[in-house]
Structure 1
Amino acid sequence: MDQQKTGRDFAAEDIQSVYKEFNSTSSGLTSQQATDLLTKVGTNTIQKAQRESQFKIFIKNFISLMAILLWVSGFVAIVAGTTELGIAIWCVNIINGCFSFYQQRAAQKATDSLLKMLPSYTRVFRDGDPQQIETSQMVPGDVFTLQAGDSVPTDARIIEATSLQVDESALTGESVPESKTAKYSKGEGQFAESNIIYAGTNVGSGTATAITVATGMNTEFGRIAKLTHSQKRATSPLQLELNRLTKQISMIAIAIGVAFFLAAIFFVKYPVAQSFIFALGMIVAFIPEGLLPTVTLSLARGVQRMAKKHAIVKDLNSIETLGETTVICSDKTGTLTQNQMTIDHVWLARKAYEVTGKGYYNNGKIQYQGQDVDLNKESDLDLLIRVAALDNDTEVQNVGGKAKILGTPTEASLIILSQKAGVDLKANRQKFPRLKEFPFDSDRKRMSTIHRIDDTELRLCLKGSLSDTLKLCSFILDNGQVRPLTAEDHQKISDVNKGYAAQGLRSMAIAYRDLDSSLTAEQIDQLSIDKTEQQLIFIGLTAMSDPPREEVFDAVKKCHAANIKIIMVTGDSTLTAKSIATQIGLVGDKARVITGTELDEMSNQELSDALAGEVIFARVAPEQKYKIVSTLQDRGEIVASTGDGVNDAPALKKADIGVAMGKMGTDVAKDAADMILTDDNFASIVSAIEEGRAVYSNIQKFLIYILTSNVPEATPSILFLFSRGLIPLPLTVMQILTVDLGTDLIPAIGLGSEQAEPGIMNQPPRRRDAHLLNKTVIWKAFAWYGLIASVISTFAYFFTNMQNGWPSVALFSSGYNYREATTMTLAAIVFTQIAAVMNCRTQKASVFKNGLFSNHLIWFGIVFEVALLAVLVYTPFLQDLFNTAPLNARDWLFLIAIPIPLFLIEELRKYVARRMAADPLS
């Protein structure tokens, strides 16, 4: 037995050769054979991508560039003589690392709960007897049986099949089930062999007996999983940007430290040791200790909000990457559409009806010219619906308010049609029992059944493709009368069918024939297809579609407003793909449709040129998505790609954001993806992108806020240095670090949980060359918020000195009056930061529009920093440590008056900016 062979290699061989290949028989293997083979080839399981050890993931949270910078900062603080603050910085780093690890574990657990393995049990023949065994214990040579609703556990060669239809969308992306038989035909495209079934696919209808030819990682499913596992993920844009920001801040902090060190020596004539400690304190002050906790919390809150919107994120950093997305490569079936084939139109010789209610259990109606139809008065329509319902093997069950199909989607649409017409399906089948069936097969493309009608008549009910059905019809039902089918009728029916096809609808012809009622049961059983399926009476056409999801229209509009391009990549037909794409507003009428065959023949440059315009990909195999995604990335795009099949996995892993379907997705697709949609809904991707944009925006808001306090923190030292020590330090190093690690931290983290700003999806994605620390951030932090805070805090210092006799007496450099002045400087910075955190909540919109009190964490942070300030200034032993003194009522009135005007002034600036953006001429 050669395990290098694939399932397809056995398609053309006769069944006896297959038995011989695996030393098996039609009765299966013996228990001993199975045991020996299991030891040799291993279990029938798909190995998941090898994950990093939990210990390694844990350690990674403590060795990022920012984490290393914080370790160094803590060490510097200890060297500078502020041991307590050094330890505090290290504690912040430890808490953040643990928090990040916890969030990653929580996301992974949520993902693992979604991942479902292959079916647990299969009916296998062992020792000649049927047995239920665990699917994982199956081996090559096992003979097993399948029926409607079963998942195929292995790659297998069919021995016998009856009306077998298999949903191979997990491999091919094609939503229409494939007919499978024991007879070999090559078929068109990959996995199209008529007598081979593949692991991970599902039986839609019929029954089969098959022999296993490949298991586990040797199946097509496993082969693609192996290919996916070999690919490595690139560093996320957020990680790259945080590394860049860390380097920038480190360089700025060191440059400032060196400048202050030299100035302290040459201007103030400080001793070298004292100058060094002073400079180290400034370096620590300029490092944003709250950056990592803020980023982690912002990502974690994004994960929580996205989970509520049916999106499970496996990697925290993936959230921000979503915010950068410029292109979404989306499947059609089940993502943009409901994955519920639904009859839209019914055409008869005299009338064309419309069917309302998209999807299953939508309480639809059958209407003619806008009026509900009474079947009692529409005999032709009544007959079509009853024939379609009788010539049908599918059941549609209501399970918890959701439709569960036991059969094929196409037949299910006919069942739903009968339900909308008010037909009692169960009573109908009991009243007109089935006597014989001619199953659907890929050659005939039709199915027919014989029923006893009212105990006196025999009727053949038939449905199938129009071309294969119409050629068998000699008559047409016209307003209750049967008349000969003319050439004019043929042309009319053909024109109607072309019209439906142009709309992307799939048509199905319905016909019948009354047979000789005197036939006995034995004679009926001996009837042949050729003699029975002839001289048919054509009733009409049904036209069906998979309707778009209701939410997808708004989602597409949001993407267009946000300059995000959506490219449909589907295995469906070109007409259907373009019809749905134009219907939901994805593309215009002139969009180019490229088929999988054309894609194979295109060079990378030709594909790149095509991707610059409006394009749809149809009849594309899932593995061809990889080429599309790669080419888009070569064009500089940030790509999100959806998928549910095993062949989608390479593209999912290659994409910047891989999005797997939680309901219909295979294990391999979910394992390769960065995000899993629990509702398989395109609109959930758009919601996730909005959250991703909010995350990046929140990190920038934090950066502005934290840098704002650095300006008033640095100003006192600048005054001290440039006055050559004549102006005593208005703020001590301990007080500077108190702001950074104490009062600023919780409000800053609160900014990380801010909700998305109104209009965030009306902006284009941020460019790859855009950075967190940009001109806008620098201007707001240093030249606007920071400058105002510096003026106010400096004024507070001199104002307090004036209350104590300055300028009649020299500025105090020690004692109670000095401590009182530095305390007011510290307090003024804290209260300007209260205004700053409120102002930073939005970049353009009014805070009132977002909700003044909507962010509870920020308000908790404000209360906390005021309380902490009070503790520092009124607790005796802390007064000595932080060089503070008690504040009186007058001081508090001055401080309380600071935030309100600063907040209102910024609201006015934002209002003016919005007006100017709306009307540049103003």
Structure 2
Amino acid sequence: MIQRKIETDAVASSKGKELFELLGSSMQGLTEAEVERRLDYFGPNEIQQTKKRSQLRIFAKNFVSLMALLLWVSGAIALFAGMPELGIAIWLVNIINGLFSFWQEYAAQKATNSLKKMLPTYTTVIRNNNSQQIDAKKLVPGDIFLVQAGNSISADARILSSEALEIDESALTGESETVSKSKNYLKTEGQFGQNNIIYAGTTVARGTATVIAFHTGMATEFGKITNLTQKQGKSKSPLQVELNRLTKQISVIAIIIGLIFFLAAVFFVHYPWNKSFVFALGMIVAFIPEGLLPTVTLSLAQGVQRMSKKHALVKELSSVETLGETSVIASDKTGTLTQNQMTINHLWLLDDNFKVTGEGYSNNGQIQKEKQKVDIEKHPDLKLLLTISALNNDSKLEKTVDEKTKVIGTPTEAAHIIVAEKAGIEIERLVEEQPRLKELPFDSNRKLMTTIHSVNGKKIAYVKGALSSIMQRANKIRVNGEVHVLNNEDRKLIEAANKHYASMGLRSLALAYHELTEHEVQMNDQTVIENNLVFIGLTVMADPPRPEVYAAIKKCHDAKIRVIMVTGDSALTAKSVALKIGMVSEKVRVITGEELEKMDDQTLRDEIKQEVIFARVAPEHKYRIVKACQANGDIVASTGDGVNDAPALKQADIGIAMGVTGTDVAKDAADMILTDDNFASIVAAVEEGRTVYSNIQKFLLYILNSNVPEAIPSVLFLFSRGMIPLPLTVMQILTVDLGTDMLPALGLGAEKSEPGVMEQPPRARDSHLLSHSVIWKAFAWYGAGAALISTFAYFFVNYLHGYTISNLAEHGAVYVQATTMTLAAIVFCQVAAAINCRTKKTSVLTIGFFSNRHIIWGIVSEIILLALLIYVPVLQGLFNTISIGFVEWIFLVSIPIPLVLIEETRKYFVRRKVKKEENVNI
């Protein structure tokens, strides 16, 4: 049996017999008996979930938050005090909210699981000298298996033989460019620098290979990073922290007020102890916002639903609000800011150059000269350049079921197929006319790829590759259909053109050809075939930015959110793309991975405060960048798709994985998954997050303002030493909190983004839900007004029946009608509050008075509920209410009108003041 731990370098550097001895295998493969022994020893080839929580624990966490515990205790006290209806009502609120929260997160996790792209199900292996397909879970160290273009790789393996093999290692390294691999041992820089090793979780972009597995399952590099990520804890979200803080604040306030009222009732009013306790309990429960949890949950759930429509899948409800606080987005470039579709945008010949329109893998563009479409038949050199592009090519483009383009091969070759199609070349016909005879595959030493074709009875080698490699082998150049000697002046012009495109962050490939003699064909010598080349021109390409990213970046800047590009691409390309999309200015500081390695943490923290781009960095560097931003006090959203991105995704306040290209490990570590891999979807999600926080604060304002009119009547009772009978009973107070207030409050949670929400900076870390502004509005503005009106309503009924301030009704129908009127007045004040709380400074008329149907139906429902309490005999007895007359209803219906008009006037002056300040700043 082989060792459990085998060093990758030892496998990479072993030769021939030594390698098979190290892995206990042979070219004939393993026997079935040996496979069974190794499966028992090493375990199945799969990624194990080491920290999977039980569904029972996930379910239970929704019922033990600080606010939930407070409600459990409140319900218990109500039961103990002989008010079972109250206690049961409070507990039902808690139970319904917990079930709703669990269901939302369960649904989100279910959707996440459906997105996961696991390791391949089947692998072709050699066992007992026979080829067979097996479940990839049964692959073991020492197994020989085959890979080809399009395959995901099932295990860490050493290459035994290969043909034109190129691997997409972006899942591990973050590099968008494919890596050429062969059986020859060559150690380059980086953690995954062995040229003859392929890794689990990466994919074959091109070619074929026979390989031997040496690490499977959790022993692979893929598995090691998964294990590291699963051990990493996740701290509470800012919203969870803030809700706990708010709960403590409200609990302390409520208990202090309840204690004061209890002592005052006993020693000042001389109320019996038991009645004083019930009275104080009413005050405590009145100040506890029982609807906070369901409203927060509903706001978050609605935010989740809105985000899902904008291609952002949120796994946990609390993550929604955290997005709204985001002050830094650490974003990948390829596929997130750009389309991840390499596109040729210029074609350069010595005597001319052309622009190519149309971006991405679509052939609906064209080749232009001065905005006019080019007829390639009139440009023989251009036609030859495009012919080489189409024929010196091993990639294919296929349409998927949903009409999207799937690349079989490399993005660079796909771009060369598309540019030929844009010129009107029929690829299939061209392949028939100039059949391929042979291929000299690309390798990282030559940096060339050559295909030999039969063209009108001649044998022609078409060559493409790095300009430096072509120029070393070229001695002629074709200009205007004629071949000339390539002189120094020509070389300078070619190099200058290449340098010019490079300065723009564009990548060039050189194309050439060699018309072979019969002798050269018979020699079949690679050096001869790729020598004496005729240079044709350059194809110039880039991965174009997503069309939506320009507006998304501007939105981030308006919202005072810094976007930091973190990419494995070159500094030149990174800066060019960042400048093009408006992310940075020319003064931007570009830090490479090599520079980052030499920086201490404090230097990195200082550097990251300025305009900065990180280029040529490994994904593991992203973890350090995220931590540095957090150390500076930022709330960080970080994107990623690879296995090595997972620690950074877990560390970030919001980890955002790519749904299309992302690995399973990245999706597990993330809080949110983009189903379209689009940066613009992140910005849309941030806007939703800000809206959710704003709506929670609006709800808090709405729910707290009713506490004042609930408390003031009781204060009058105390200060009058009982001469003013209680204008509200405890059950009536709770009717407002748990009944009439709830539906409009829930409607506030569904309010859409207020205009200008993305023109404000992220909320400060030291700002809180219960801010000075909320306290002032709730108690001194909305609350005080409602208290005056409801108290007036109490005295108004007494006055209508001939009672005066010195002689108020203490019992009987008039007293019950006065308390009923007080309750009804509070409800109608809350109708106005529901409308006023919809916006902070924007006019309700601007956003549309009836635009939030949840609010409208909530108001209608609370009025219907009030009417039921007043006119249904059973409810009259339970809530101490009685029927009221027409005059009283006229009074009640009139209440919201002045309150809304007064608030609209206040908002007008607030907007005017803000506009004046903005003009001064300009």
TM class, shorter-length? over 0.9
AA aligned to 2:579 is T
Cα distance in 2, alignment partners of residues 402 and 525 from structure 1: 44
Cα distance in 1, alignment partners of residues 567 and 324 from structure 2: 25
Deviations 1:716-750 (A, max 9, x none): 00111111111111111111010001100111111
AA aligned to 1:236 is S
Query: 1:188-267 to 2 correspondence within 5 Å?
Result: 188-267=189-268
Q: Please state whether the residue corresponding to 1:144 is helix, strand or coil.
A: strand
Is 1:571 paired with 2:568? yes
Q: 2:824 corresponds to which residue?
A: 827
Q: Please state whether the residue corresponding to 2:656 is helix, strand or coil.
A: strand
AA aligned to 2:690 is R
Is the CA contact (8 Å cut-off) linking 1:388 and 1:462 kept in structure 2? no
Q: Which blocks of at least 5 consecutive residues in structure 2 are unaligned?
A: none
Cα distance in 2, alignment partners of residues 412 and 897 from structure 1: 70
Q: What is the CA distance between 1:285 and its match in structure 2?
A: 1.1
Is the CA contact (8 Å cut-off) linking 1:397 and 1:405 kept in structure 2? yes
Q: Please state whether the residue corresponding to 2:40 is helix, strand or coil.
A: helix
Cα distance in 2, alignment partners of residues 381 and 918 from structure 1: 58
Query: 1:748-787 to 2 correspondence within 5 Å?
Result: 748-787=745-784
Q: Please state whether the residue corresponding to 2:63 is helix, strand or coil.
A: coil
Q: Please state whether the residue corresponding to 2:157 is helix, strand or coil.
A: strand
Q: Please state whether the residue corresponding to 1:11 is helix, strand or coil.
A: helix
Is the CA contact (8 Å cut-off) linking 1:48 and 1:668 kept in structure 2? no
Match of 1:449 among 437, 448, 451: 451
Match of 2:912 among 894, 912, 915: 915
Q: Please state whether the residue corresponding to 2:827 is helix, strand or coil.
A: helix
Is the CA contact (8 Å cut-off) linking 2:339 and 2:543 kept in structure 1? yes
User: What fraction of aligned residue pairs are identical, expressed as a percent?
Assistant: 60
Cα distance in 1, alignment partners of residues 242 and 851 from structure 2: 29
Q: Please state whether the residue corresponding to 1:919 is helix, strand or coil.
A: helix
Q: 1:17 corresponds to which residue?
A: 18
Sort the Cα spacing of 1:327 and 1:625 in 2 relative to 1 into closer, same or farther, 3 A.
same
Is 1:730 paired with 2:727? yes
Is 1:113 paired with 2:110? no
Cα distance in 2, alignment partners of residues 80 and 851 from structure 1: 46
Match of 1:879 among 876, 881, 904: 876
AA aligned to 1:77 is A
Sort the Cα spacing of 1:136 and 1:574 in 2 relative to 1 into closer, same or farther, 3 A.
same
Sort the Cα spacing of 1:27 and 1:849 in 2 relative to 1 into closer, same or farther, 3 A.
farther
Q: Please state whether the residue corresponding to 1:163 is helix, strand or coil.
A: strand
Deviations 1:416-449 (A, max 9, x none): 1011111100111111000111110000001011
Q: 1:593 corresponds to which residue?
A: 590
Deviations 1:873-906 (A, max 9, x none): 1111221221111122221121111112212221
Query: 1:844-859 to 2 correspondence within 5 Å?
Result: 844-859=841-856
AA aligned to 1:182 is K
Of 4-13 and 60-69, deviating more is 4-13
Q: 1:401 corresponds to which residue?
A: 403
Q: What is the CA distance between 1:807 and its match in structure 2?
A: 2.3
Q: What is the CA distance between 1:525 and its match in structure 2?
A: 6.6
Deviations 1:42-88 (A, max 9, x none): 01101135221111111111111101110111122223332211111
AA aligned to 1:276 is F
Q: What is the CA distance between 1:863 and its match in structure 2?
A: 1.3
Q: 2:31 corresponds to which residue?
A: 30
AA aligned to 1:437 is E
Is the CA contact (8 Å cut-off) linking 1:77 and 1:83 kept in structure 2? yes
Deviations 1:652-702 (A, max 9, x none): 111111111111111111111111111111111111111111111111111
Cα distance in 2, alignment partners of residues 253 and 849 from structure 1: 37
Q: 1:412 corresponds to which residue?
A: 414
Q: 1:492 corresponds to which residue?
A: 493
Of 286-295 and 856-865, deviating more is 856-865
AA aligned to 1:11 is A
Q: What is the CA distance between 1:871 and its match in structure 2?
A: 0.6
Q: 1:667 corresponds to which residue?
A: 664
Cα distance in 1, alignment partners of residues 255 and 856 from structure 2: 33
Query: 1:272-671 to 2 correspondence within 5 Å?
Result: 272-361=273-362, 363-399=364-400, 400-454=402-456, 456-516=457-517, 518=518, 524=521, 526-671=523-668
Deviations 1:847-866 (A, max 9, x none): 23333222222222111111
Q: 1:800 corresponds to which residue?
A: 797
Is the CA contact (8 Å cut-off) linking 2:12 and 2:197 kept in structure 1? yes
Cα distance in 2, alignment partners of residues 874 and 210 from structure 1: 83
Cα distance in 1, alignment partners of residues 675 and 7 from structure 2: 33
Of 723-732 and 655-664, deviating more is 723-732
Cα distance in 2, alignment partners of residues 85 and 276 from structure 1: 15
AA aligned to 1:762 is E
Q: 1:703 corresponds to which residue?
A: 700
Query: 1:70-85 to 2 correspondence within 5 Å?
Result: 70-85=71-86
Sort the Cα spacing of 1:151 and 1:453 in 2 relative to 1 into closer, same or farther, 3 A.
same
Cα distance in 2, alignment partners of residues 49 and 796 from structure 1: 63
Is the CA contact (8 Å cut-off) linking 2:363 and 2:421 kept in structure 1? no
Sort the Cα spacing of 1:252 and 1:481 in 2 relative to 1 into closer, same or farther, 3 A.
same
Is the CA contact (8 Å cut-off) linking 2:363 and 2:418 kept in structure 1? no
Cα distance in 1, alignment partners of residues 82 and 47 from structure 2: 58
Cα distance in 1, alignment partners of residues 899 and 361 from structure 2: 57
Cα distance in 2, alignment partners of residues 911 and 401 from structure 1: 51
Q: Please state whether the residue corresponding to 1:822 is helix, strand or coil.
A: helix
Q: Please state whether the residue corresponding to 1:48 is helix, strand or coil.
A: coil
Cα distance in 2, alignment partners of residues 397 and 705 from structure 1: 56
Q: Which blocks of at least 5 consecutive residues in structure 1 are unaligned?
A: none
Sort the Cα spacing of 1:408 and 1:97 in 2 relative to 1 into closer, same or farther, 3 A.
same
Of 798-807 and 847-856, deviating more is 847-856
Sort the Cα spacing of 1:525 and 1:829 in 2 relative to 1 into closer, same or farther, 3 A.
farther
Q: 2:41 corresponds to which residue?
A: 40
TM-score norm. by structure 1 comes to 0.98
Q: What is the CA distance between 1:908 and its match in structure 2?
A: 2.1
AA aligned to 1:588 is S
Q: Please state whether the residue corresponding to 2:110 is helix, strand or coil.
A: helix
Sort the Cα spacing of 1:6 and 1:300 in 2 relative to 1 into closer, same or farther, 3 A.
farther
Is the CA contact (8 Å cut-off) linking 2:397 and 2:408 kept in structure 1? yes
Q: What is the CA distance between 1:809 and its match in structure 2?
A: 7.8
Q: What is the CA distance between 1:459 and its match in structure 2?
A: 0.9
Sort the Cα spacing of 1:618 and 1:49 in 2 relative to 1 into closer, same or farther, 3 A.
farther
Q: What is the CA distance between 1:15 and its match in structure 2?
A: 3.2
Is the CA contact (8 Å cut-off) linking 1:879 and 1:885 kept in structure 2? yes
Give the number of equivalent residue pairs.
917
Sort the Cα spacing of 1:808 and 1:481 in 2 relative to 1 into closer, same or farther, 3 A.
closer
Match of 2:743 among 737, 743, 746: 746
Cα distance in 2, alignment partners of residues 193 and 53 from structure 1: 40
Q: Please state whether the residue corresponding to 1:563 is helix, strand or coil.
A: coil
Is the CA contact (8 Å cut-off) linking 1:76 and 1:284 kept in structure 2? no
Q: 2:155 corresponds to which residue?
A: 154
Is 1:868 paired with 2:865? yes
Of 38-47 and 842-851, deviating more is 842-851
AA aligned to 1:449 is T
Is the CA contact (8 Å cut-off) linking 2:795 and 2:805 kept in structure 1? no
Q: 1:715 corresponds to which residue?
A: 712
